[in-house]
Structure 1
């Protein structure tokens, strides 16, 4: 990308994926492509904030459980809870067992059904449990996990926005970013992110890769079930990637 396009992409990523005060100047597909390619960078910032608050609480004398809750709360706050909302709506759509059109209508409703509530509770409990375990080991392990899970979540967005993955609806954020990233470029970004994560250790690289893989499984299920992606599906794959990456980091200590 040219410098102006790269900056527009970063603005798009931070302006749409976080609540940080970044003004988006362009809403076209070129900016959307740059934004989805820059999504892992936004994840690095979100994860850094999550880790920072968790470590700060530990230094002030808080226990690992409170630090873990804070590190889970920060990404939720910085995304206005949209990824969690998308996860709940997607769970309701998948759990409904209804045809695609009806399932998409269920997902668009403002209320959350039983599948969504159960999924949210289990996912948040899993994230907090893993981070509490890792913070109890050391502040460094917990902080690295918080950053890695946030990066894995946004890498999943890059992969979900690749060419060949259609939008389920003609409107909404899902339609705006669906298919904007060339497939080969999305794979190259994924390889690069996993390689950079390897600087923190092979387990961290494996966790980020596994997170992307788990999100890919959900993405394919949603495309087959709904006929494509929506904004809710993007949120669901992000939370799936974050959770899978954390679980991997908790295993085999």
Structure 2
């Protein structure tokens, strides 16, 4: 039953799909929920793949189809991660100390940096998806990478990556993942991407390059957040999801 509770918590956190919340949320349950995130978003991944496939088969403009897919993905997650991206960008670019910078993050109002981050990241996602629409394997690859991008959360929730404050959604998940578990998840992802590229007749090492690019960006964001805020918050998790998705999709092109 604990796995079922963790599954419901993961689906409720990472998607807009209505589920019954678990009776209680413990650190162990939160950790399992984060580890299940790539699987919990599979309905959204299937939706993105279906939109790209249908758009291609109907002969629609690739960039418009890609924009619809990104919009549908945002709706499917209540634009939760995009909000985190905007707030994180505003907080990281503010010239305040850690306490006041966290207040900027908590406000939730999109400032110039937040708006710019949204425009750049969403444009990168749309542009990359528009290129994948025309590839025979593109829709499937896009769906897989949507799932992979949600695995970034395990890195922000590893033990040793401290939280910046004692309230907010991030507290539920901070330091709930053992480093060995996070490493194992990303090793499996790297091997899976390598196998996927090889199956498509592409160089297998592209899987390593794609994984490495995503990990480097995530590591930089987490390091910057810890330096600026004194730790991570829930919005930072959302930022890593959106930015890593852009990097993964761009790598696939």
Q: Same fold (TM over 0.5)?
A: yes
Shift of 1:139: 4.2
| Structure 2 partner of 1:45 | 43
| Structure 2 partner of 1:153 | 149
User: Aligned partners of 2:95 and 2:142: how far apart in 1?
Assistant: 34
Q: 2:19 aligns with which of 8, 17, 22?
A: 22
Shift of 1:46: 2.2
Q: Tell which deviates more after alignment, 201-210 or 37-46.
A: 201-210
**Matched position secondary structure for 1:16:** helix
What TM-score do you get using the length of structure 2 for normalisation?
A: 0.91
Q: Establish whether residue 187 from structure 1 lines up as the match of residue 167 from structure 2.
A: no
| Structure 2 partner of 1:104 | 102
User: Aligned partners of 1:149 and 1:171: how far apart in 2?
Assistant: 31
Shift of 1:58: 2.1
Shift of 1:108: 0.9
Q: 1:167 aligns with which of 152, 163, 171?
A: 163
| Structure 2 partner of 1:7 | 4
User: Aligned partners of 1:210 and 1:151: how far apart in 2?
Assistant: 16
RMSD of equivalent CA atoms: 1.6
Superposition map of 1:1-253 within 5 A: 4-25=1-22, 26-136=24-134, 138-141=135-138, 143-201=139-197, 202=204, 203-204=206-207, 206-250=209-253
User: Aligned partners of 2:140 and 2:158: how far apart in 1?
Assistant: 27
Give structure 1 stretches of 5+ with no counterpart. Answer: none
CA contact (8 A) 2:62 2:133 kept: yes
Shift of 1:244: 1.1
**Matched position secondary structure for 1:65:** helix
**Matched position secondary structure for 2:250:** helix
Decide whether aligned partners of structure 1 residues 150 and 205 sit closer, same or farther in structure 2, where only a CA change above 3 A counts: farther
Decide whether aligned partners of structure 1 residues 149 and 120 sit closer, same or farther in structure 2, where only a CA change above 3 A counts: same
Deviation beyond 4 Å, 4+ runs, structure 1: none
1:168-196 CA distances to partner (integer Å, 9 max, x unpaired)?
Answer: 11011111100001111111111112222
| Structure 1 partner of 2:200 | none
User: Aligned partners of 1:207 and 1:44: how far apart in 2?
Assistant: 20
What TM-score do you get using the length of structure 1 for normalisation?
A: 0.91
CA contact (8 A) 1:87 1:233 kept: yes
User: Aligned partners of 2:234 and 2:104: how far apart in 1?
Assistant: 14
Shift of 1:96: 0.9
Decide whether aligned partners of structure 1 residues 246 and 81 sit closer, same or farther in structure 2, where only a CA change above 3 A counts: same
